[in-house]
Amino acid sequence: MHYTGTIWRPPYEASSLLLEVTAGCTHHRCKFCTLYADLPFRFRMSPLEDIEADLKEAQEMYRRFTGRAPSRTFLTGANPFVLKYDRLMEIARLIHKYFPGMETIGGFARVTDITLKSDKELEALHGAGYDGLTIGMETADDKALRFMEKGYLAADILEQCRRLEQAGIRYSFFYLTGISGAGNGEAGAEATANLCNRLHPMLIGANMLTVYPDSKLYDEIWKGNWKEESETEKYREVRALVEYLEIPTVFAALGASNAFQMQGVLPEDKGKLLAFLDDVIKNVGEDELRRYREGVHHL
């Protein structure tokens, strides 16, 4: 299999076929991000020959070791949905050629990737199997989005995700706890919940910001331009997000950035999630939470 650099996937894609079609990130300007530092300032697109060779290899591996074919493919890279419509359709054709029973094709997507497709193209992509995208929305706090140089604002999230919904393409959100900075976390969480309440994400996954020395955000902190939330404040922020969410969705905090992992279905499990978070806030000290944060050497 052709894989370039570190391969990142959401926890819920553990059973998916991981197929490299891109490597690195087209944006590569978010101040907090170091995930694609091993692929700096470039965006690699896999040749169709490599993609087909990987599918052939995967077909043989699944036949030999599991006796069954996967039902889902997850395209790797920071935002493979940025690829042009024709390229994505050709990739789907190859996937279905080697795995005729493949049900869905997903991957990471930036909000700006959606703008590159027309409504008809989005509908055709859904018809070809594209479904269940993971979008790193991070927050609906426009001040934070601007400061972190995400390249879009809350109104763009709302507009583009509504276009996905119209096309029938489901999606999940990644929320970055701590992105609004000290003193602003709960307000950022409320703004995010208010935006999510106008949409229909399958899942909202919370990850906690960890600031690494090789990030642009680290430099901003040293310059006095931004202050990190305390670890306890981050948990109050997560609590606010859960409290203000009113839509039926799955809420999860399963990544390694979370000292305490949790998952539940809203609104049924809201009370349990809030009680769990209240317990963490009340009974786990800042020092213990900070030790965990400092031990997260890489995400």
Residue type, position 92, single letter: A
Q: How would residue 62 be classed by pLDDT, with cut points 50, 70 and 90?
A: very high
Q: Do residues 202 and 255 share a domain?
A: yes
Q: Do residues 61 and 125 share a domain?
A: yes
Q: Do residues 160 and 296 share a domain?
A: yes
Q: Do residues 141 and 184 share a domain?
A: yes
Q: Do residues 225 and 286 share a domain?
A: yes
pLDDT at 213 over 90: yes
Distance CA 285, CA 252 (A): 22
Using left for φ > 0, alpha for ψ between -120 and 50, and beta otherwise, residue 20 falls in beta
Tell me which of 68, 98, 130 is where a domain ends: 130
pLDDT at 216 over 50: yes
Q: How would residue 297 be classed by pLDDT, with cut points 50, 70 and 90?
A: confident
Tell me which of 130, 151, 183 is where a domain ends: 130
Q: Do residues 107 and 249 share a domain?
A: no
pLDDT at 274 over 90: yes
pLDDT of residue 41: 45
Assign residue 232 the CATH number of its domain: 3.30.750.200
> How big is the chain, counted in residues?
299
Lowest mean pLDDT among 29-38, 159-168, 226-235, 251-260: 29-38
Q: Do residues 71 and 108 share a domain?
A: yes
Tell me the C-alpha to C-alpha distance, in Å, between residue 45 and each of 10, 24, 84, 95, 151.
21, 9, 11, 17, 22
Q: For 22-57, write each residue's pLDDT tens digit.
A: 988 888 889 998 887 766 545 678 899 999 999 999
Place of tokens 């109104």: 155
Q: Do residues 100 and 80 share a domain?
A: yes
Tell me which of 115, 130, 145 is where a domain ends: 130
Whole-number mean pLDDT of the chain? 94
pLDDT at 196 over 60: yes
Q: Do residues 274 and 160 share a domain?
A: yes
pLDDT at 299 over 90: no
Domain count, the chain: 2
pLDDT of residue 40: 56
Domain residue limits at 93? 1-130
pTM, whole model, 2 decimals?
0.94
Q: Do residues 112 and 237 share a domain?
A: no
Q: For 84-111, write each residue's pLDDT tens digit.
A: 999 999 999 999 999 999 999 999 999 9
pLDDT at 191 over 60: yes
Angle at 27 between CA 6 and CA 229, to 5 degrees: 80
Q: Do residues 152 and 121 share a domain?
A: no
Query: Residue 44's beta-bridge partner residues?
Result: 23
Q: Do residues 27 and 119 share a domain?
A: yes
Cβ-proximal residues to 39 (8 Å cutoff; 6+ apart), any chain: 4, 5, 23, 24, 25
